[in-house]
Structure 1
Amino acid sequence: MDASADPQLTITTLSERPELQGPLWAMPDTWPKFILNDPVGWANMGRIVAELPEYVLVATDPEGAVVARGFSVPFALDTDGRRGLPATGWDQVLLWAFSDRRHGRTPDTVSAIEITVEKGMLGRGISGRMVAAMRDNARALGFGELVAPVRPNGKHLVPQAPMSEYAFRTREQDGLPHDPWLRVHVRAGGVVERVAPASMTVSGSLEQWRDWTGLPFDTDGPVTVPGALVPVNCSTAHGYAVYVEPNVWVRHRL
């Protein structure tokens, strides 16, 4: 379904409608439990809402219910030690963004951090409208570029496939990306640039992983976990497992 399927959708920044902060967090979503235990995200997502509300988008339906949210952060890319989209993707731009705020660096780029659609509203073109709104918001804030460490939403179906191959799969009929979420970004004007092979890292004890996934985690080696883009590496001898998620950098010129 195309983006016109929900013409009554209203998209604003959280700074314009701060009363939506509670409903924004309460919106039902489909994130796997283990993803919420990435320590960089756990420590910094709340800071985006508290410190950067002008970079937070909230979509509401005609009844005023929150049906989508979008988080982004400004950071300095054209500076010593950077000048390239990092291999450590999602985690790294969050760390850069708040380090830059602490040290008073002037940002020159906006990075998408999350776009989430309420699980009952999926398939209605809302994700494409949120990408377009995030581009528009970055432009309105004076930026010429939006980048996104995209988590391809079809990759979990083929966890053994290397992201370096999957990210560049295209459809025969139109040459657009095979992955639906990458396709949304390209249709909005983005260009698939490179893989971030270690975009997010989640580590935990075997007990934690059993709680997060319901799986036994009783065998050494790679474990296929529902919702994970690649297998989780398990060490029963040492009592822990580690998930290193690859994402895909997409660059939007504004």
Structure 2
Amino acid sequence: MDLLVTTAAQRPDLVPLLDDFNDWPAFMREDMLSPLYYGDAVAAHPAHVLIAVDRDRPDRLAAKGYSVPFTWEADPDEALPPGGWDEVILMAARDRLAGRRGTIVSALEISVRRDLRGTGLSGVMLAAMRRAAADEGYASLVAPVRPNAKHLHPGMPAAAYADLRRDDGLPVDPWLRVHVRAGGRITGVSSRAMTITGSLADWRSWTGLPFDTAGPVEVPEALVPVHCDTAQDLAVYCEPCVWVHHPLS
């Protein structure tokens, strides 16, 4: 593949391709804070929106990446936002309203077209995201990583899962492994990186599951069980993340 990885700022003509695919589970599209970023990511942060295409098939998206600058005064090796992905989006929105540039950059998403997964493209996109942040003068890229095999172990605490290592010392989780190989350092875990709430009817429509029994419900592709409260007609999902810090200088 003759891959072109560019930004929305450099190639605005490719921006329409960003809607080519969205492989997130249906329930994850219901996060209440996401529209603060995705509602106008291209207009607000074009240098931080990555677009990858095969030059031989420039009409089809190969991969995409989204990141955002935000203000964070603590040492990213010591502490990062306890609210994870949601908190980053909220802080970035506040910075934008206040006219602040932000002090570091957070990854928000890297997605690869399904038939190209396993080809190393996710690592290419992460490297491009690191370069884009460095080119904008930032010293750190951080990532509230959604471990892509954690859903196979929904009952395991996120911190314990993040600590799992192979014989070579690298993380067991494939996506965490990509980050560590790229120079990232795992710094901690947030237990509430993304919070999604809805009525039981909402969750039935999002998942196809009955949601008729109080207690934890294991949902396909969810990293931890969803808490179902039949008395209150409410179900709540608090997704964890693993924080990774990529020093850029």
TM-score of the superposed pair, with normalisation by structure 1: 0.93
Q: Which residue of 1 aligns with 2:245?
A: 251
Q: Which residue of 1 aligns with 2:185?
A: 191
Superposed structure 1 runs of 4+ greater than 3 Å apart = none
Q: 3-state SS of the aligned residue for 1:39?
A: coil
Kept after mapping to 2: 8 A contact 1:150/1:248: yes
Residue from 202, 214, 217 that aligns with 1:220 = 214
How many pairs does the alignment contain?
A: 243
What is the CA–CA distance in structure 1 between the aligned matches of 2:53 and 2:127, rounded to whole Å? Answer: 16
What is the CA–CA distance in structure 1 between the aligned matches of 2:229 and 2:205, rounded to whole Å? Answer: 16
Q: Which residue of 2 aligns with 1:28?
A: 21
Q: 3-state SS of the aligned residue for 2:39?
A: helix
What is the CA–CA distance in structure 2 between the aligned matches of 1:19 and 1:84, rounded to whole Å? Answer: 38
What is the CA–CA distance in structure 1 between the aligned matches of 2:54 and 2:100, rounded to whole Å? Answer: 37
What is the identity, as a one-letter code, of the residue corresponding to 1:186?
Answer: V
Kept after mapping to 1: 8 A contact 2:123/2:178: yes
Kept after mapping to 2: 8 A contact 1:201/1:244: yes
What is the CA–CA distance in structure 1 between the aligned matches of 2:68 and 2:101, rounded to whole Å? Answer: 12
Asked if 1:149 corresponds to 2:144, the answer is: yes
Q: 3-state SS of the aligned residue for 2:14?
A: helix
What is the identity, as a one-letter code, of the residue corresponding to 1:169?
Answer: L
- Is the deviation greater in 107-116 or in 45-54? 45-54
Kept after mapping to 1: 8 A contact 2:36/2:89: no
What is the CA–CA distance in structure 1 between the aligned matches of 2:125 and 2:39, rounded to whole Å? Answer: 20
Q: CA deviation at 1:50?
A: 2.1
Any stretches of 5+ residues in structure 2 without a counterpart? none
Q: Which residue of 2 aligns with 1:3?
A: none
What is the CA–CA distance in structure 2 between the aligned matches of 1:43 and 1:72, rounded to whole Å? Answer: 13
Any stretches of 5+ residues in structure 1 without a counterpart? 1-5
Residue from 149, 162, 171 that aligns with 2:166 = 171
- CA 54–106 in structure 1, closer or farther in 2 if over 3 Å, else same: closer
Asked if 1:102 corresponds to 2:100, the answer is: no
What is the CA–CA distance in structure 1 between the aligned matches of 2:40 and 2:91, rounded to whole Å? Answer: 13
What is the CA–CA distance in structure 2 between the aligned matches of 1:33 and 1:50, rounded to whole Å? Answer: 25
Q: State the Cα RMSD in Å.
A: 1.2
Residue from 48, 55, 60 that aligns with 2:48 = 55
